[in-house]
């Protein structure tokens, strides 16, 4: 990289993506193991017997809901850190700061939405 030193922070978006994906797959495997949903490759899915493997159904009841909440909260925190670091990185380089500020606001709202999604799942009255 032209002799420049690389910061460890450049791996944060990759870590964010990998850990969030791995966490959602863990929720899926917990739901399959607890017999809440059929696996993705199941040919015996019949209407009304078990749900399709939606993450909203997989993360609806404990223990999968606990893991889902933690995964979404950690993902929201990492997304917020990435947003703030990117804002700080671009601040001295941009000509029109409104785009940088609007990107920061959008990612902050997305992070807040992820915490809401992680902490308030299962409120559809199906209990």
Question: In the numeric block, which tokens belong to residue 98?
Answer: 């409104």
pTM score of the predicted model: 0.79
Peptide bond into 63 cis (omega under 30): yes
What are the pLDDT tens digits along the chain (127 aa)?
555 777 888 899 999 999 999 999 999 999 889 888 878 777 666 655 556 667 777 777 888 889 999 999 999 999 999 999 999 999 999 888 999 999 999 999 999 999 998 888 665 544 4
Alpha-helix residue ranges (DSSP H) falling in the chain: 12-33, 55-58, 64-90, 97-119
Q: Report yes or no: 51 and 37 within 8 Å, Cβ to Cβ.
A: yes
Predicted pLDDT of residue 5:
78
């Amino acid at each position: 990289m032209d002799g420049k030193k690389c910061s460890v922070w450049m791996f944060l978006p990759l870590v964010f993506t990998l850990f969030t994906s791995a966490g959602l797959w863990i929720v899926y495997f917990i739901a399959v193991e607890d017999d809440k949903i059929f696996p993705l490759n199941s040919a015996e899915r019949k209407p009304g017997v078990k749900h399709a493997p939606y993450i909203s159904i997989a993360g609806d009841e404990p223990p999968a809901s606990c893991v889902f909440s933690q995964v979404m909260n950690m993902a929201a925190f990492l997304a917020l850190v990435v947003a703030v670091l990117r804002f700080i990185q671009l601040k001295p380089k941009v000509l029109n700061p409104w785009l940088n500020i609007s990107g920061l606001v959008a990612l902050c709202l997305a992070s807040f939405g992820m915490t809401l999604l992680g902490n308030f799942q299962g409120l559809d009255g199906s209990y």
